[in-house]
């Protein structure tokens, strides 16, 4: 069922830089920050289902933002104290890709979390209707 995990040499330069080196794409440049189509956002490297468009919201930050992952078992949350900030890094559990970070300024009524994810690490599988 699962797609194979793409090898490093198959990744675009930017995806490699973000997913494998922990970099962050420039805000308002990615494919999905302002995307409102319905579907499932999958890992761009291994195809694991990570986020549903149902939990996506406009955070104004320029990165795709979600209140929750589809399945907490599909992500790995790692304390990250780099850059003088205390943050939680989000990684794809299956392939270890760096996806983004979690912040506590998400919509209160939805739990208050903001999963701030790099577009380049995601691939939207649109909902068919």
User: CB of residue 66 vs Zn ion: minimum separation in angstroms?
Assistant: 16
Residue 41 burial by Cβ neighbours in a 10 Å radius (0-12, 13-18, 19+): buried
Site for Zn ion in 54-93 (CB under 5 A): 92
User: CB of residue 50 vs Zn ion: minimum separation in angstroms?
Assistant: 8
CB-based contact 122:98 (threshold 8 Å): no
User: CB of residue 84 vs Zn ion: minimum separation in angstroms?
Assistant: 28
Among 18, 46, 116, 121, binds Zn ion (CB under 5 A): 46
Edge-first strand order for the sheet with 39-43 is: 49-52, 39-43, 122-126
Q: Is 19 in the site for Zn ion (CB under 5 A)?
A: no
Q: Is 95 in the site for Zn ion (CB under 5 A)?
A: yes
């Amino acid at each position: 069922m699962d797609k194979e995990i793409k090898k490093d040499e198959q990744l675009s330069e930017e995806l490699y830089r973000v997913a494998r080196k922990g970099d962050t794409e420039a805000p308002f440049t990615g494919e999905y920050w302002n995307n409102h189509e319905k579907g499932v956002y999958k890992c761009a490297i291994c195809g694991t289902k990570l986020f549903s468009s149902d939990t996506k919201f406009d955070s104004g930050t320029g990165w795709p933002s979600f209140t929750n992952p589809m399945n907490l078992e599909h992500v790995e949350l790692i304390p990250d104290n780099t850059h003088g900030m205390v943050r939680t890094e989000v990684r794809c559990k299956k392939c270890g890709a760096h996806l983004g970070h979690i912040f506590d300024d998400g919509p209160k009524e939805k739990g208050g979390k903001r999963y701030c994810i790099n577009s380049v690490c995601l691939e939207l599988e649109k909902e068919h209707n």
